């Protein structure tokens, strides 16, 4: 069984269950000026023992979710990396402009984003994936994964994975975990993230609903 890996910024490979060589370097995301995204906000709630994460695109489209325990933001902007204070676990939260997906033949943003992720990785690894899947999960979210079984790869057989959430016609949210100690931890964190993930429009985005103490008002 190959290593289970996660996506970083659309191009770098990091191991979820173990590390791999640093030869897999992150590619810089192409940033656009159309409808710029606000900085992603991260706040730990000590009473609830959870970290709330929220971000918006313009003034009328936003997303929010919560992670168990305390996490800190290590980077900002369109690509924000969160680090758990209790383990080595990290979560990459990335916003991709639909401008990057123009010209791809797939019928919707999710499948176009998945196709670009696959293209990025195949270019990075220099060979096509042997297995690719795109599965719908909770409403509005999909899981993309691709597997390379070539034993000649520096890290051996591997699978890369990311959660894709279209926010609007202009932006797609990508979420991926890395540096987890066990598959059970990965499954638990993924389930927690997707269960609490919400996307809002219009006035409900004011002040980032994820940071309100009364969750029922969201």
Kindly tell me if the per-residue pLDDT of 49 is higher than 80. yes
Chain-wide mean pLDDT for the chain?
76
Of 135, 142, 155, give the one whose Cα is nearest residue 17.
155
Percentage of the chain lying above the pLDDT 70 cut: 72
Cα 137 to Cα 146: distance, rounded to the nearest angstrom = 17
Which phi and psi angles does 163 have, rounded to 5°? -95, 135
The token duo for 46 is 């000590």
Percentage of the chain lying above the pLDDT 90 cut: 33
The model's confidence at residue 74, banded by pLDDT at 50, 70 and 90, is confident
Cα 91 to Cα 179: distance, rounded to the nearest angstrom = 9
The model's confidence at residue 203, banded by pLDDT at 50, 70 and 90, is low
Kindly tell me if the per-residue pLDDT of 64 is higher than 60. yes
Q: Kindly give the pairing relationship between strand 3-8 and strand 158-166.
A: parallel
Q: What is the dihedral of CA 77, 121, 170, 215, to 10 degrees?
A: -60
The DSSP line for 101-148 is: GTT--SSSHHHHHHHHHHHHHHHHHTS--SEEEEEE-STT-EEEEEEE
The pLDDT assigned to 59 comes to 66
The token duo for 132 is 């690719």
Kindly tell me if the per-residue pLDDT of 163 is higher than 90. yes
CA 218 to chain centre: 22
Cα 11 to Cα 26: distance, rounded to the nearest angstrom = 6
Higher pLDDT, 82 or 181: 82
The token duo for 70 is 């305390």
Kindly tell me if the per-residue pLDDT of 138 is higher than 60. yes
The pLDDT assigned to 181 comes to 73
């Amino acid at each position: 069984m190959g290593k289970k890996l996660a996506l970083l910024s659309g191009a770098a490979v990091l191991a979820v269950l173990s590390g791999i060589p640093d030869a897999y370097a992150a590619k810089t995301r192409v940033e656009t000026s159309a409808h710029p995204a606000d900085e992603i906000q991260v706040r730990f709630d000590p009473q609830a023992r959870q970290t709330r994460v929220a971000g918006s695109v313009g003034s009328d489209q936003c997303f929010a979710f919560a992670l168990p325990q305390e996490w800190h933001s290590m980077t900002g902007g369109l690509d924000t990396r969160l680090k758990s204070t209790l383990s080595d676990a990290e979560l990459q939260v990335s916003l991709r402009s639909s401008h990057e997906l123009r010209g791809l033949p797939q019928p919707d943003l999710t499948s176009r984003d998945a196709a670009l992720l696959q293209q990025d990785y195949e270019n990075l690894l220099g060979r096509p994936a042997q297995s690719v899947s795109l599965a719908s999960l909770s409403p509005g979210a999909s899981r993309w994964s691709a597997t390379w079984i070539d034993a000649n790869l520096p890290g051996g057989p591997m699978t890369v994975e990311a959660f894709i959430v279209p926010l609007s016609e202009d932006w797609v949210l990508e979420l991926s975990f890395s540096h987890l100690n066990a598959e059970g931890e990965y499954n638990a964190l993924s389930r927690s993230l997707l269960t609490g993930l919400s996307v809002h429009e219009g006035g409900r985005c004011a002040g980032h609903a994820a940071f309100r103490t009364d969750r029922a008002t969201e």
